[in-house]
Amino acid sequence: MTLFVVKGDPQHMEYHEAKVLSPAEMKACSHPIRMAMLEALARKPSFPSELAAVLKVHEQTIYYHLKSLLPLLEIDERKEIRGTIAKRYRLKERMFVTEIGTVSSWKTFSRFFAAEINKGVESFLDPILVKGNLQTPIVVGSTDPHGPFKAIARDGHYAVDLALFLGQFCSMPPSFSVKLDVEIKKEKRDHESMILVGGPVTNVILGEINEALPVTFVHKKTWELVSRKTQRQYSDDAQGVVAKIPHPLNKHASLLVFAGIRFDGTKAAILALTRHHQKLLADYTGQKIFCHVVHGFDLDSDGEIDSVEIVE
């Protein structure tokens, strides 16, 4: 089994392979001369005579302790000195770990990493994600004209960014994780738990559950978002909604919604979770119905939404 030592913070983690030692091998390394030998070899490969000079001990002392360290070393060079073959040694690995007894509480790295990113994210994703497994499809609009508006989806590719984020929390699902809205309709799966990407114009599944959202899409002369709680109206193309609600057609299912008035609003909704989840979920405490209106902004003036503010 290969083990790795991980260090860093949740946004930037580094790892290094580590050699597994038995408790007896670890105890053997704890002798002060042997530990000094390992530290010297970590600096550079050395012959026993060189180690003796560095540590200021007799060369035979080095040979005595070398026998206990051989499992951790490899030969870097052989050299004939005064008719005998001398061996220069180097460390096999720079890190060593040991397991005391049998550890049964191993965690997958993705779940460890996810938990460190934000304690509330896993709760927000439940039951969409359960024990590191994606339970539902990510549903995007079809790129063919479809639905009552004969719309062509232009925001489905944003689901890639969402999937990369979710990948930190789960392993690869056995079946393909992305479905078109028309496929969901054809397979009669619109009563199941889902992650919905795109507004009611481009995603017909979202159109069907629109009235169950705390902030609904309303079509008058143009599309706008209307909050049931505050009655506020939002009509900017870069505004969208992030919501978690029970499925109105199935009380045992849940829906996660990332939808905008237009595709920029959908992008803002996804960015809110993938880049600004701490702000987005600051007031999430496990509510069955959770919703925020977000507004995307182009702070670096390159024509692309790159920042998000929570407006409700």
H/E run at residue 294: strand 290-297
| Number of domains the chain is built from | 2
- Asked if residue 103 belongs to a domain, the reply is no
Lowest mean pLDDT among 100-109, 152-161, 267-276: 100-109
Whether 308 shows a pLDDT value over 70: the answer reads yes
- Asked if residue 239 belongs to a domain, the reply is yes
Whether 300 shows a pLDDT value over 90: the answer reads no
Task: Identify the residue whose tokens are 């005595």.
Answer: 64
93 and 114, same domain (yes or no)? no
From 44, 68, 98, the end of a domain falls on 98
Q: Regarding beta strands 96-98 and 138-140, do their DSSP bridges make them parallel or antiparallel, or are they unpaired?
A: unpaired
Sheet holding 290-297, edge to edge: 178-180, 138-140, 194-197, 250-260, 239-247, 290-297, 307-310
Whether 113 shows a pLDDT value over 60: the answer reads no
CATH code where residue 61 lies: 1.10.10.10
166 and 207, same domain (yes or no)? yes
* Residue 105 or 4, more confident: 4
> What mean pLDDT is reported for the chain?
88
From 98, 127, 146, the end of a domain falls on 98
Average pLDDT over residues 72-79: 89
Which of 205, 192, 217, 213 is CA-nearest to residue 141?
205
119 and 92, same domain (yes or no)? no
Phi/psi for 239 (5° steps) reads -100, 145
Cα–Cα distance, 216 to 212 (Å, whole number): 8
pLDDT at 14: 78
Structural domain range at position 227: 109-310
- Neighbour count for residue 278 (Cβ, 10 Å): 12
- Asked if residue 163 belongs to a domain, the reply is yes
From 52, 67, 98, the end of a domain falls on 98
58 and 202, same domain (yes or no)? no
Average pLDDT over residues 292-311: 91
Whether 293 shows a pLDDT value over 90: the answer reads yes
209 and 145, same domain (yes or no)? yes
208 and 300, same domain (yes or no)? yes
Token output for 149:
């508006």
pLDDT at 38: 92
Average pLDDT over residues 31-50: 93
3-class SS shares of the chain: helix, strand, coil, % to 5: 30, 30, 35
149 and 263, same domain (yes or no)? yes
- Asked if residue 67 belongs to a domain, the reply is yes
Q: Is 295 helix (H, G, I), strand (E, B) or coil?
A: strand
pLDDT at 115: 52
Q: Is 265 helix (H, G, I), strand (E, B) or coil?
A: helix
Task: Identify the residue whose tokens are 């499992």.
Answer: 71
120 and 250, same domain (yes or no)? yes
Token output for 148:
């009552």
Whether 8 shows a pLDDT value over 80: the answer reads no
CATH code where residue 292 lies: 3.30.379
Q: Is 222 helix (H, G, I), strand (E, B) or coil?
A: coil
Cα–Cα distance, 171 to 193 (Å, whole number): 18
64 and 200, same domain (yes or no)? no
Are 216 and 210 in contact, with CB atoms under 8 Å apart?
Answer: yes
pLDDT at 310: 95
Q: Distances in Å between the alpha carbon of 40 and those of 52, 75, 213, 301?
A: 10, 15, 65, 54
Average pLDDT over residues 279-284: 91
User: What pTM value is reported for the model?
Assistant: 0.66
Contacts 24+ apart (CB under 8 A), 56-60: 57/33
pLDDT band at 107; cut points 50, 70, 90: low
51 and 20, same domain (yes or no)? yes
* Residue 273 or 121, more confident: 273
* Residue 72 or 241, more confident: 241
% of the chain at pLDDT higher than 90:
56
Cα–Cα distance, 177 to 12 (Å, whole number): 27
54 and 12, same domain (yes or no)? yes
Show Cβ contacts of residue 309 under 8 Å, excluding neighbours closer than 6 positions: 294, 295, 297
272 and 204, same domain (yes or no)? yes
Cβ neighbourhood burial of 279 (10 Å; 0-12, 13-18, 19+): middle
- Asked if residue 104 belongs to a domain, the reply is no
DSSP state of 92: S
Average pLDDT over residues 124-134: 83
- Asked if residue 196 belongs to a domain, the reply is yes
Phi/psi for 202 (5° steps) reads -95, -20
pLDDT at 208: 94
